[in-house]
Amino acid sequence: MSEAPPFTISQTMLDMVFRIGELVNSIEHYELLDPHPKLRKQNRIRSIHSSCAIEANSLSVGQVEDIIDGRKVIGPKDEVLEVKNAIEAYSLLGDFDPYSMDDFLKLHGIIVRNLEKEAGRFRSGAEGVFAGDRLVYMCPPPEFVPSHMENLFAWLNESSSTVNPLIASCVFHYEMVFIHPFSDGNGRMARLWQTALLGKWKAIFHWIPIENRILKAQQEYYDSINFCNSAGNSNRFIEFMLRMILNALEDSMAEIRTATEAPPRHLTEFILKMESGKYYSVKELMELQSYKSRPSFLRSYIKPAREHGLIEMEYPDSPRTTKQRYKRTE
């Protein structure tokens, strides 16, 4: 019998679990009627970019997409390799058993392959979490890591029929970060394994970029972890992560609805005037439409065309650049 991690289920948690369940059902309904492979790819790119960016990887969303598409990217060698490893790990996620510690170690071996000597193995040295030069938290000694992780996985398996999978995945995420079982890759593994646990429950979670929401609330992510370290339970972190999951589902639901709705006729006629594969400036597109007002054109054509996935930006990482051009989505 394992020792259960300390946490208490609150009404706030239950309310969010209910709302998440409603959104999951809605998204599953839309996906059943009309799968969206392009949205799935974009969400996967966001997940990989965000999880790596949280760990200070400087590659852009566009560069991550280039790596996925097999294009050469100029950037720090270790950061490019980190993204390549993450791409492979996310692509294999559905093949791993999220309740298996052996699979957990195998996935770590992929995440830090050729980046860390102890890839796929628990750390052999002491670890601490620092904010600059200040020690924030001293992790458990390395000799206790295997037993702590064995207990965590035992609890995960024993509680699979009694603890809601949303809450269990949040508890695992926090406890894994607390144990800090690896010399490198702990944050990426915690986020990835939570996705694996959620994906085992509902497959759509393999394509929901929760990491993107965490990146946007990165300081709160760290603050909630530090608060729980002091409080001796994971309550605040569970509530934080449930909110991130809820927000990510709301984002995805809005994108799916937009993609599912037929674009207005004026947009389809506008897109047909664009040559395939050619980039156009806003000025050139306005000339195609004999349009005079730039603000009105951006509002009536560019914005909705982007929302419907009808056009793509030449510089997606700099959406407001004056050099921005657009091409028709093929």
pLDDT given for residue 109 in this prediction: 97
pLDDT given for residue 294 in this prediction: 92
pLDDT over threshold 80, residue 136:
no
pLDDT given for residue 263 in this prediction: 81
pLDDT over threshold 80, residue 4:
yes
pLDDT given for residue 329 in this prediction: 86
Measured CA to CA, the distance from residue 110 to residue 129 in angstroms comes to: 23
* CATH among 3.90.550, 1.10.3470, 2.40.50, 1.10.10 for 265-328: 1.10.10
Confidence of residue 34 (pLDDT cuts 50, 70, 90): low
Measured CA to CA, the distance from residue 90 to residue 111 in angstroms comes to: 9
C-alpha closest to that of 197 among 168, 230, 238: 168
pLDDT over threshold 80, residue 131:
no
Q: Does 1.10.3290.10 match the CATH number of domain 11-260?
A: yes
Bridge partners of 311?
Answer: 328
**Cβ partners under 8 Å of residue 138, min gap 6:** 126, 128
pLDDT greater at residue 30 or residue 228: 228
pLDDT given for residue 96 in this prediction: 96
pLDDT over threshold 90, residue 84:
yes
**pTM greater than the 0.75 cutoff:** yes
SS3 226: helix
* Predicted confidence (pLDDT) per residue in 90-101, tens digit: 999 999 999 999
SS3 250: helix
Mean pLDDT taken over the chain: 92
Measured CA to CA, the distance from residue 59 to residue 78 in angstroms comes to: 11
Percentage of the chain lying above the pLDDT 70 cut: 98
pLDDT given for residue 162 in this prediction: 95
**Cβ partners under 8 Å of residue 97, min gap 6:** 103
Confidence of residue 254 (pLDDT cuts 50, 70, 90): confident
Bridge partners of 138?
Answer: 128
Q: Where are the domains of the chain?
A: 11-260, 265-328
